[in-house]
Structure 1
Amino acid sequence: MEYPNLLIATTGRIQTITINRESKLNALNKATLAELHTAFTHAFNDAQVGGIILTGAGPKAFVAGADIGEFAGLDAEAGTALARDNQANVFNLIANGSKPVLAAVNGFALGGGLELAMACHIRIASDNAKMGLPETTLGLIPGYGGTQRLTQLVGKGKALEIILTADMVTAADALQFGLVTNVTSPDNLLAVAEATITKIIQRAPLALAAAIRSVNAGLTDGINGYETEIREFGKCFGTQDFKEGVAAFLEKRKADFKGE
């Protein structure tokens, strides 16, 4: 499939999705969001893909924000629909995906760009990255899950400070806050991302999906995360991957998981 605003590359079981609007600092317009929905839906449904890296084209930006020009003229009803639709179709789709998604944050990740990175399961940043939610400078608040996911990652006080001041934070500070899990040089960013996702996808695919569902359950209102964990733990015992994992452990060999 053709993606005018994305580059899709698959190496082995790793698919890299690159937002390819470098001249616009990879800003998220309607077309790009629609392409992200399609690309991630295909990746999650492709048995050959084990894990996904999401990044931005060029050294300057992961995603510098939403395309603000598309916001002009929207009223309250249209703004509500915009947030609801994009949260469901892109941001929640990624967060609830059955395969691990790692954001390789190169340069600016602002507004919707940081919200996109936070929807991913893991974030790695280049040491020149700058992250922030500047929506209050536009008379807005984050609308793609930013108020919720940032609070989950860094805590209420720091989240409110970042959102209310609209200040950018450095990669070093983001690592300290727990917003990212690793910081490396720009030249090594994709290599570190690939090494991390390669290690992850060597694990049992059904167990990875179960772990993602269990962690997400604990952060979802009305769902008992402990009960979800118990159910998912029990379901693992019925998989061929569990039998293979135990056999490999007892036989002192590397497991050959099939996702079955």
Structure 2
Amino acid sequence: IQYIDNNQQDMGIYNPYELALDATYARKFGESFSLGTAVRYIYSNLSSGQVSGGQQIRPGSAVAVDVSAYFKKPTFFLGSDAIVSGGINISNIGTKMSQSEGAAKIFLPANLKIGAASTFLIDDYSQFTFALDLNKLLVPTQPIYENDKIIAGRDPDRSVPSGIFGSFSDAPGGFKEEMKEINIAAGIEYWYNQQFAFRTGYFFENPQKGNRRYLTLGAGLKYNVFNMDFAYVVANVQKSPLANTLRFTLLFNFGEGK
């Protein structure tokens, strides 16, 4: 990648390199409930050796943990056999990272996700799933400064636990702004004979908090241990880097063929 500074001056060509290694463990408790955790090592080398703002850029590293819980239970809902499920995941709880000498360390993007879904078994061949996810970053919200003094919000230079727990009450705009930090995603999936799937979904992020908004359309194919999924992203924000993105997934699930 060719780097340029704020004055459009050439800063050289670099080969960014990033790596994440995960070790995961999950356990089922009874037929309906399960817990999981993951430990992650993160290494990021974006432009080692470069000098930016008088600071020598160096590789950064961090360690993070994910924890999650999942509930799934067959039931009878809205006049049909159904499967209701719900889950919670807290990801990237970890050490701060810095990529330059003497620079302040920054938070990893710790995130809270809460989701629920209902699958309706229409008949022996057809089923519909309706899903809803809520996401919120567990990092400090930037305060409002005036003459280098904070006039609204809280100092973001905090410990990791303080940053996580304080992320629910540190927005300069109070509770109303905290609600704007919650991203909403909803989707519908249809399966025919557990072989062909069609999906659509929508993701919304408040315009003041990133303004990512897009529709997804997708399809899937399952045969024995082979799974293939396709998705197309339709962004409704002008000049979005996500516009017209194609996503493909190829999966071999050897446990499925037993």
TM range (shorter): under 0.3
Greater per-residue strand proportion: 2
TM-score (norm 1): 0.25
Instruction: Considering Cα pairs closer than 8 Å and 6+ residues apart, tell me whether 1 or 2 has the greater RCO.
Output: 1
- Structure with higher helix content: 1
TM-score, length-scaled by structure 2: 0.25
